[in-house]
Amino acid sequence: MDVKASMAIIKAMAEAIRVNKDYLTELDAAIGDADHGVNMDRGFQAVLAKLDALTSDPPCVGTILSTVGMTLVSTVGGASGPLYGTAFLYAGNVVKGKDRVSLDDAIAMLEAALAGIKKRGGAEVGDKTMVDALEPAVAYLRGPGRNETSLSSALSNAAAKAREGMESTRPIMAVRGRASFLKERSIGHLDPGAVSCYLLLKTIADSV
Amino acid sequence: MVSILLISHSSKVADGARDIAAEMAGNDVVIVACGGTADGRIGTDPDRVARAVDALAFGDGLVILADLGSSVMSAQMAVESLPEERRAKVIIANAPIVEGAVLAAIEASMGRSLAEVDKAAQSAHTMTKA
């Protein structure tokens, strides 16, 4: 995966968020403050504008990701800004100066993204957050995924794990974020952050 | 004198908490309000928070009071992006924003240390109301 492909993935992510904007906001209306889709879409539209400005001088993959991270932190306006922003910043740091991404790089990037999100939000698996989607995907890549022969099939299988993780947020009670204020009323709803996290991972897998 | 930064999802809450605190603490304490998003919605403007933290994290230090989620995370990120030697000058108080702001501002106005101002903010938890 080269610089051009990384740029295309970010654009596909923005499109996935745009298409699912209302769905994510609906999920957030049930157990949060009803702004997840709107916020994420605002962030990723701002990312598109920033990336357009970068295209004249093709940067390394690390620069693309840190641009995405900083833009999300600045423009999202909700907790998903610092959380996803930190994820992209950490992932970008792993591939600083690189113009190609291998399977090992991709694994290291997602590990770093997970570490960033956990550091920022303090969540663990089972708290009903984006970590529930991301951590199983990273665990797969760290384990059996390392032996996959192609980046594409490794990421597809990781996205499938993220989907299971996302589904696992439905029957549990939220421990982090606004949804935790609802206590048992948060049970029975998917976590919007876990859903957006799965959508982003699925988009990466589909675009590679 | 310790400065105080108030971060809320709402500009009205941040501005209002500052007004209530300033009424008690007088004009000597620097109290800055950072409420809402850059375009005036409910939320947080992390860039503005980062600029405020950078501007206030010097001298006797800065106590930050923040309300929820992204306010707290923006404060944490702003502190982490300070040069290492200035990070110890900032404390994010584990306290409710309005009551904490009033107690912290009064303590700061008496020329107390960063740790003492933080402790005063935290004492909001033991305020009895019923």
- Residue A179 in contact with residue A186, Cβ under 8 Å? yes
Whether residue A1 is predicted with pLDDT greater than 90 in this model: the reply is no
Whether residue A137 is predicted with pLDDT greater than 70 in this model: the reply is yes
Q: Please give the residue of chain B at the shortest CA–CA distance from A176.
A: B69
Read off φ and ψ for residue A97, nearest 5 degrees. 80, -5
Runs of H (alpha helix) within A76-102: 80-94
CA distance, residue A91 to nearest chain B CA (Å): 17
Overall average pLDDT of the A55-59 stretch: 71
Global pTM? 0.89
A39, B47: Cβ pair inside 8 Å?
no
B114-122 and B97-109 helices, crossing angle to 10°: 140
Residue type, A122: G
Report pLDDT for A33.
Answer: 92
Burial class (CB in 10 A: 0-12, 13-18, 19+), B101: buried
Over the stretch A19-46, which tens digit does the pLDDT of each residue have?
A: 999 999 999 999 999 999 999 999 999 9
B84 falls in which pLDDT band (50, 70, 90)?
A: very high
B108 falls in which pLDDT band (50, 70, 90)?
A: very high
B70, A81: Cβ pair inside 8 Å?
yes
**Rounded CA separation B33/A153 (Å):** 49
Burial class (CB in 10 A: 0-12, 13-18, 19+), B83: exposed
Q: Tell me which chain B residues have a C-beta less than 8 angstroms from the C-beta of A84.
A: none
CB-nearest to B73 from A33, A82, A178 is: A82
CA distance, residue B8 to nearest chain A CA (Å): 12
Q: Tell me which chain A residues have a C-beta less than 8 angstroms from the C-beta of B43.
A: 35, 39, 77-78
CA distance, residue A207 to nearest chain B CA (Å): 30
A78 DSSP assignment: S
A56 falls in which pLDDT band (50, 70, 90)?
A: low
B69, A73: Cβ pair inside 8 Å?
no
CB-nearest to A82 from B37, B42, B46 is: B46
Q: What is the interface size between A and B, counted as CB pairs within 8 Å?
A: 40
Chosen for mutation from A74, A80, A180, A182 (greatest number of chain B CBs closer than 10 Å) is: A74
Write the ipTM. 0.79
CB-nearest to A77 from B37, B76, B77 is: B37
CB-nearest to A78 from B47, B70, B76 is: B70
Strands (E), chain B: 3-8, 31-35, 62-66, 90-92
CA distance, residue A77 to nearest chain B CA (Å): 5
List, by residue number, the catalytic residues of B: 9
Report pLDDT for A58.
Answer: 66
CB-nearest to B44 from A77, A120, A177 is: A77
Q: Please give the residue of chain B at the shortest CA–CA distance from A122.
A: B73
CA distance, residue B100 to nearest chain A CA (Å): 21
Chosen for mutation from A31, A75, A117, A191 (greatest number of chain B CBs closer than 10 Å) is: A75
Overall average pLDDT of the B12-41 stretch: 94
